[in-house]
Chain A
Amino acid sequence: MGLLTDLRDSISRVTASLFTEDAQPKRIGIYGPPNAGKTTLANRIARDWTGDAVGPESHIPHETRRARRKENVEIKRNGKSVSIDIVDTPGVATKVDYTEFLEHDMEKEEAVRRSREATEGVAEAMHWLREDVDGVIYVLDSADDPFTQVNTMLIGIIESRDLPVLIFANKIDLEESNVNRIQNAFPQHETVPLSALEGQNMDEVYGMIAEYFG
């Protein structure tokens, strides 16, 4: 009985998604560890196609502590057009220590407040991933080691939910950038090199977004 119920629920989910996805813009979550350049990318996409930004950028980790949505971003490439809502999410971590913020010239009170908001933001990002996104752009700093547990877990969670995912190897403008390392870490997914800050390779970025999420 449980088996039949499971099967019926699964088929309902699949058919529901087949017949409702085209009705509204797809919500594409921008995920990744802190300081990978998620907000810089979200701002780049939003400015290129709507003229507005999504949120403030900073080199301090956990600058984004609330998920922010930019609605109805229409991207046109190679005859394809895709309308998406960009959801810029807080960087995901398994630990947040307020003392790390003290190194960025913050008073203890502000560091503690930022730390508390950061933990709420990570929880919020996880909730969005489980409930509210239709696809994922996973942003990694290509100058950093991709073999971290947060990356392993998040990619696993995304795969388990059968969400379409593109991996963006960001910060290729840095000398230490190593895109191959990311491709080797996640060979099962398409990796696109870019610099969201410098606007490098954005043509391919938009082409892939239109192809994957269109």
Chain B
Amino acid sequence: MAEVKDPDVDGVQIDLISGERMAGLASMEKIRLILDGVREGNIVILESGLTPDEESRLIEVTMSEINPDGFTGIEIESYPRSQTADASFLDRLMGKQSTSKLTVIGPANQIETLHKDRNLISALVSHR
């Protein structure tokens, strides 16, 4: 996605990734897609989020890529899972996990959460 960025334009690129596109990817492909975008300074918005297991691995991979001279990690925001939207007991028994929640991810040094509660996420995005 980075190839569409025009170096002469001063701005922040936002990638909105549909649930359909993410559904066709393996977990590590999703994490790579997210981190590659974020490391280029983009804000990545996922229509349908990640499973808890994928979130856990995203944290782990992010930690392995942090380095003192550049990447300091990610800022990620999504709404808390509502109880009614949770997977059923049978789904969880079968290893299926609910993912339907909008998720915003950006470079830690460019995005700052101003407010968050159950229904609202307010964030400030800045240039590098």
Contacts and interface: CB of A to CB of B under 8 A. Distances in A.
Contact of A119 (B64, B83, B86): B64
A119 B55 contact: no
B29 to A, nearest CB: 19
B16 interface: no
Interface in A164-214: 185, 188
By size class, the interface of chain B is: 35 or more
Contact of A123 (B60, B94, B97, B118): B60
Contacts of A120: 63
Interface stretch (B2-10, B20-28, B73-81): B73-81
Interface stretch (A17-25, A49-57, A90-98): A90-98
B72 to A, nearest CB: 4
B56 A157 contact: yes
A94 B76 contact: yes
- Where chain A touches its partner, the secondary structure class is helix
A160 B75 contact: no
Contacts of B83: 188
B13 interface: no
Interface of B: 51-53, 55-57, 59-60, 62-64, 66, 68, 72-81, 83, 86, 92-95, 97, 108-109, 113, 116-118
A7 B94 CA distance: 6
A94 B73 contact: yes
Interface stretch (A78-86, A136-144, A145-153): A145-153
A148 B108 contact: no
A204 to B, nearest CB: 25
Interface residues of A, number: 38
A30 interface: no
Given A123-B64, A147-B117, A92 B93 contact: no
Interface in A6-53: 6-7, 9-10, 14
A19 to B, nearest CB: 17
A149 B63 contact: no
A10 B92 CA distance: 9
A130 interface: yes
B92 A149 contact: no
B63 A96 contact: yes
Contact of A6 (B94, B109, B118): B94
Given A10-B93, A157-B53, A126 B78 contact: no
B116 A159 contact: no
Contacts of B73: 93-97
A156 B52 contact: yes
Contact of B62 (A94, A98, A112, A115): A94
A162 interface: yes
A122 B58 CA distance: 12
A148 B93 CA distance: 28
